[in-house]
Amino acid sequence: MFLSMPSSTTPTAAGRLVAITGGARGIGRATAATLVARGAAVAIGDVDLDLARETAARLGPSAVALPLDVTDPDAFAAFLDEAEQRLGPLYALVNNAGIMPISPFCEEEDAAQRRTLDINVHGVITGSRLAIARMLPRGQGHVVNVASQAGKLGAAGLATYCASKFAVVGLCEALRAELHGTGIAVSCILPAVVNTDLTAGVTDAPRILRIEPEDVADAIADTLDRPRAEVFVPRAAAAGYRAGGLLSPRVRDALLRRLGADRVMAAAHGSAARRAYEARAAGDSPTPEARIR
């Protein structure tokens, strides 16, 4: 199957190839389903190829499953090569793969910190670089990087994860400046707490926004049709973050403590659900599905 580029210059994913990292489950799977429903072709890249194949089979002939380890630049390039060979020129890349260990900072293991940065930061940088290199000669394309609202506001128990998502937010800002006028859009998706394996063991708390993977998928699909620089999910969260930015750090920290936001993630540390997820995220389990959202 080889898709031709639509003749219209209006940005849209319909009829074009979108590659999705960590696409076998969670946000990635929901995004693939939403985009196929809107007429796009999707390449689902994942470390769990069997699960990716199951996902692609459910979505039909507009979806293909391909192996992908985002920490390996050669594997990432091979993923994009195969996706283009089978489905046509790359229009958009959704950098979605990520892991989220929860731990007090001084108890974080070096291996966990490095793996978090390898997947959440270097994987996004590698994918963005490889995709943009393909898009520049065509004067068209879109890179969508899935960050987190933890990339705008640090959370106790998530120090390295927050650092990785702050890095993605900064990367997107720099790329937008560098790519201005090239025809290539860069969008940063900022979800609240999403009901996926990534948040296993995280209990609900008052005033903590919790959303579904389909909510994020809709936001990604919408921004591919109508590019936006930063996309909060839900949108209502944007006002809160902007208002918080007007407060001094001391006042903001005190407010968050009063709301209990400083305890939500830290309270999940050590739970049975977190141990199971983090074993898989570290690659210690024979079933690697929790390495992605």
pLDDT at 208: 64
CB 225 within 8 A of CB 12: yes
Report pLDDT digits (tens) over 187-232.
Answer: 999 999 898 887 776 765 555 678 999 999 999 999 999 999 999 9
Query: For the ranges 47-56, 151-160, 184-193, 255-264, which has the lowest average pLDDT?
Result: 255-264
Confidence of residue 243 (pLDDT cuts 50, 70, 90): low
- Find the helix packing angle between 110-117 and 159-178, rounded to 10°: 20
Report pLDDT digits (tens) over 251-281.
Answer: 766 666 666 666 666 666 666 767 778 787 8
pLDDT at 278: 79
pLDDT at 261: 60
Percent of the chain with pLDDT over 70: 80
Query: The pTM is what?
Result: 0.86
Quick count: other Cβ atoms within 10 Å of Cβ 240? 14
Residue that wins the pLDDT comparison between 93 and 291: 93
Mean local confidence (pLDDT), 125-152: 97
CB 26 within 8 A of CB 111: no
pLDDT of 152 over the 70 cut: yes
Quick count: other Cβ atoms within 10 Å of Cβ 21? 29
CATH architecture of 17-291: 3-Layer(aba) Sandwich (3.40)
Hey, where are the domains in the chain? 17-291
Percent of the chain with pLDDT over 90: 68
Order of all β-strands in the sheet with 63-67: 63-67, 41-46, 17-21, 90-95, 141-146, 184-191, 230-233
Mean local confidence (pLDDT), 101-118: 95
Torsions phi, psi for 193 (to 5 deg) = -70, 120
Average pLDDT for the chain: 87
pLDDT at 283: 74
CB 276 within 8 A of CB 287: no
Looking up tokens 């090239």 gives: 182
Catalytic site positions: 161
pLDDT at 84: 98
